[in-house]
Amino acid sequence: MTSTILIVDDDPAGRQTLESILDEQGYQLEFAENGAQALQMIRQILPDVILLDVMMPGMDGFEVCRQVRSDPAIAEIPIIMLTALDDRRSFLNGLESGADDYLTKPYDRHELRARLLGITRLNRYRKLQDDRTNIEQAHLQLLSAYDATIEGWSRAMDLRDKETEGHTQRVTQLSEQLAKIAGIRQDELIQIRRGSLLHDIGKLGVPDSILLTPNKLTDEEWEVMRKHPQYAYEMILPIEYLRPALDIPYCHHEKWDGTGYPRGLKGEEIPLSARIFAIVDVWDALTSDRPYRAAWDKQKTLQYINEQSGKHFDPHIVELFNIMMA
């Protein structure tokens, strides 16, 4: 990446000297003849480094430097002052006005090249760091937008199935708590949260006549209802960002003894996140009112979950659930 150097000098001979020194060094050279022109060009081209003469009519280099440093849009641009003034006061004025380096004329061409190379390298590194930070911030903003979209989908599904309103938010919270007790890492907890929010997304493929019926489902209707994990798989798999969260929507109806669906997975064939979620899902379903039955109390529900240890549920996760609910 070519660095742009702005040379600011009212003396044509001074500009030509710097051009000859920096010629064939791989820089893009730009020129300004006075302070006002320099400030205008700095804002337009945003050079990587400014080589700034001090003794100029109208606005001297010290004032140009101060104005650059006072403008947030250009304040970070490195400045090397070049001047015939070699007294200590001028040197201090240069540093106080914001110069990064200070060379007195006549300067050694090799020293100038070396100092310029050092500053351009540091400036390039700083820009790379800034770019990396900006990319990371943009990535975090994108993830936040994705998660907000998932939250919106989950609320839409709860609103569609009014009898389970609030269910998704409750099971998501409980699943995260149980996963923490199970020692799940933070990066995996994020996927458990997303999977929990989307656990019933496959029901979007189930007709309202089946999903919303107050009656007991027929065998044919159950056949359709049992397809919702497969629908979830087909919906989520093409979305690379959501693929790590697929285990819960796809596998949360599998059972420890192999009698679940859609694939009849058994024991530890079932992903751990789905084994965790399965208990929480049943707990919330049983402790919530339904048109066909009243909610169970917590003691009765916990008794049922323990009875299903080794059948529907992973025995170890049942133990952890008992600890969480104690």
What is the rounded CA–CA span in Å between residue 103 and residue 80? Answer: 7
> Can you give the pLDDT at residue 164?
58
What is the rounded CA–CA span in Å between residue 54 and residue 42? Answer: 16
Give the domain ranges of the chain: 4-133, 161-325
> Can you give the pLDDT at residue 163?
54
Cβ atoms of 178 and 226 within 8 Å: the answer is no
For domain 4-133, the question of CATH label 3.40.50.2300 is answered with yes
Residues 6+ apart with CB under 8 A from 208: 160
Structural tokens at position 28: 């893009």
**What is the biggest distance separating any 2 CA atoms in the chain, rounded to whole angstroms?**
97
- Residue bearing tokens 């945003």: 46
Cβ atoms of 47 and 17 within 8 Å: the answer is no
Structural tokens at position 274: 């789905």
Dihedral of the alpha carbons of 35, 39, 41, 42, in degrees to the nearest 10:
130
Q: Which of 180, 76, 60 lies closest to 119 in space, CA to CA?
A: 76
Residues 6+ apart with CB under 8 A from 283: 174, 301, 305, 321
pLDDT in tens, the chain (326 residues): 688 999 999 999 989 988 988 888 888 999 999 999 999 999 999 998 999 998 888 899 889 999 999 998 888 888 888 887 766 776 677 778 888 888 877 777 888 888 888 787 777 666 667 667 777 777 677 677 777 777 777 776 766 665 556 788 899 999 999 999 999 998 899 999 999 999 989 988 888 888 888 788 899 999 999 999 999 999 899 888 889 999 999 999 999 999 999 999 999 999 999 999 999 999 999 998 776 678 999 999 999 999 999 999 999 999 999 999 98
Structural tokens at position 184: 């799940």
CATH tag, 161-325: 1.10.3210.10
Q: Considering Cα of 5, then 6, then 10, then 16, what sign does the dihedral take? A: positive
